[in-house]
Homo-oligomer: A and B are copies of this chain.
């Protein structure tokens, strides 16, 4: 509820009650995904009894879950008939090419969620009070990340490749830092046969990226450099360096150290392309990008959702010229293109 909605009415504890129970929305969506409920409804089972039978669940439990998912904006209800919203049909029905139900396995893995059991301590100390092992080399979490999050990145990776290489007719050497599933670099290679991709990440993660390069049919233009993005020798004379969802894990000084290395790897006129949650200068809009700062407070020692002004300053300190901010609709992220 926006503050302006509170003007002109009696104070109400509804928002407090809603927010204290918001964790139930998280759990209900996870359960809906686990039971395949959205796929079952998408297949035309619309009454709670039919949905329950197909889910292998009780009718009562299914009815309460479905109603709650209507209230939460994931299902429609007409009479006693449930249906998918456009968002659910696109992203939560397994038959959709954009299905991304797997992201819940990563986003809600216990070692991430449990960080927020210690949020008060994190606010006190100014960084995560939980487990920081995931930031160490070769942590298996990043393999899970690469596998589970790939479906969520299919659309943004295509949109970014179209934004950055709209003509698709020039030879481009591209370095993909902390490539993970590799989809961002691979999207460039898929749309432009003259793109050659070099991916940096931990060895165990690069196996996932290599699989995705095979699947995309571009393995002959895909090579890897295993190791830490802070240590590995990138090589030089790249046209493009991708930094997708990476800088937010680190403090400004660490980011600038990395960006100097990125700058050295680019040819003159080359571009660093950053995909990030970029809040406006007010740090409270747009809401999803701004809220990502909380994710970093809970989970990292000193990460943040950086504003464009902060990113621009980091890039300039690292030797870059101007940076440009681009929206990437309908995603909730933004792209910063910085020129050497």
Contacts and interface: CB of A to CB of B under 8 A. Distances in A.
Interface stretch (A8-16, A131-139, A242-250, A317-325): A8-16
A104 B16 CA distance: 9
Nearest to A292: B21
Nearest to A11: B90
Nearest to A70: B284
A219 interface: no
A261 interface: no
Contacts of A167: none
Interface stretch (A26-34, A175-183, A266-274): A26-34
Contacts of A31: 119-120, 123
A103 interface: yes
Interface string A241-264: 000000000000000000000000
B3 A76 contact: yes
A24 B116 contact: yes
Interface residues of A, number: 94
State the majority secondary structure of interface residues on A.
helix
A37 B127 CA distance: 18
A215 interface: no
Interface in A1-48: 1-3, 6-7, 9-31, 34-35
A198 to B, nearest CB: 29
A145 interface: no
A148 to B, nearest CB: 11
16 contacts: A1-B87, A3-B76, A12-B331, A13-B87, A16-B87, A20-B29, A21-B107, A22-B23, A27-B298, A28-B119, A35-B124, A57-B124, A58-B127, A60-B127, A60-B302, A71-B290
Interface string A67-99: 110111110110000000111011110000010
A188 to B, nearest CB: 22
A59 B26 CA distance: 29
B6 A120 contact: no
A129 to B, nearest CB: 10
Nearest to A63: B283
Given A20-B104, A58-B123, A291 B73 contact: no
A9 B11 CA distance: 34
A288 interface: yes
B71 A10 contact: no
Query: What 10 A-B pairs are tightest by C-beta distance, nearest first?
Result: A58-B126, A61-B123, A11-B90, A23-B23, A22-B22, A60-B126, A27-B116, A10-B330, A68-B294, A23-B26
Contacts of A140: none
A100 B17 CA distance: 10
A30 B24 contact: no
A283 to B, nearest CB: 5
